[in-house]
Amino acid sequence: EAIFKTVGTRVLVYSSENVSPFEEKPILFTFTIDIFDLFLRPTIFIMLIAFLSSIFVLIIKTRKREEDESVFKKEFIPTSEIREFCSLYEEKNALVLEIRKAENETKRKKMVKKTYKNLLTKNTTKIDQIKEEIIPFKKVLIETSDTYNNIIKKLDILDAERISVNDSLNLLESRYKRGKLPSKAAYQKLSDDFFNRRKKIDRTIGYLHRNPFS
């Protein structure tokens, strides 16, 4: 009358009349085994386990790779590039200060103009060479971390500010000599302001050089 499944068991229900407890009644029934259905369920189960295991292994490997890369980035310090950059920058800074000293001595008549011009030409040429030599080391440091990148940017800004202050001092002196300023006191006040700005820049550059990338 009916066939149904319960708790993983298939049950066949039938009814019969005129049957007593002392009577045996044989039943003949046939069935067909579906091989595909028989193997499909465990195969799906195995594939599901394999799929979940693969995802788990992939997640573990990805996390480990990210952790390894993070540790590498934290531990990697381009010591050689830092040393070369600092050495070249120190040399360039020394040449700039030498030009400034010679310029002041020339203004005070302690150095002849020809000597000053020769020194200016020589040092300027060397400074231009250093600017080219330092580029690859700057590039490595900039790409290594944001900290190095920010320090190098700050040094570049300080260099630009120092050049701007020097140009302003020369322009101020020229205007004073041509009588374009209202008084000597005004010239002295502006001159002192520029000198103080330049000293502050020099101190900051010196500090960054004494404590490179710390």
Residues 150-188 pLDDT 10s:
888 999 999 999 999 999 999 999 999 899 888 989 999
Contact in structure between 134 and 85 (CB atoms under 8 Å) = yes
Spatial distance between the Cα atoms of 100 and 125, rounded to a whole number of angstroms:
15
Residue found by looking up tokens 């390894």 in the block: 68
- Spell out where the chain has E strands: 2-6, 9-13
Query: Is residue 65's pLDDT more than 80?
Result: no
Return the pLDDT at 181.
86
The predicted-structure confidence for 2-45, as pLDDT tens digits, reads as follows 666 665 567 766 676 666 666 666 666 666 665 555 555 666 66
Q: Tokens representing 209?
A: 């050089």
The upper half-sphere exposure of residue 5, i.e. CA atoms within 13 Å in the direction of its Cβ, equals: 2
| 3 state SS for 42-84 | HHHHHHHHHHHHHHHHHHHHHHHHHHHHHHHHHHCCCHHHHHH
CA gyration radius for the chain? 44
Please give the span between the terminal C-alpha atoms of the chain, in angstroms, as a whole number. 89
User: In whole angstroms, what is the distance from residue 141 CA to residue 193 CA?
Assistant: 34
* CB atoms near residue 22 (< 10 Å): 5
* Tokens 């010239």 sit on residue: 187
Instruction: Quick: pLDDT tens for 95-107.
Output: 999 999 999 999 8
Note the pLDDT of residue 207: 83
Spatial CB neighbours of 80, under 8 Å, sequence gap ≥ 6? none
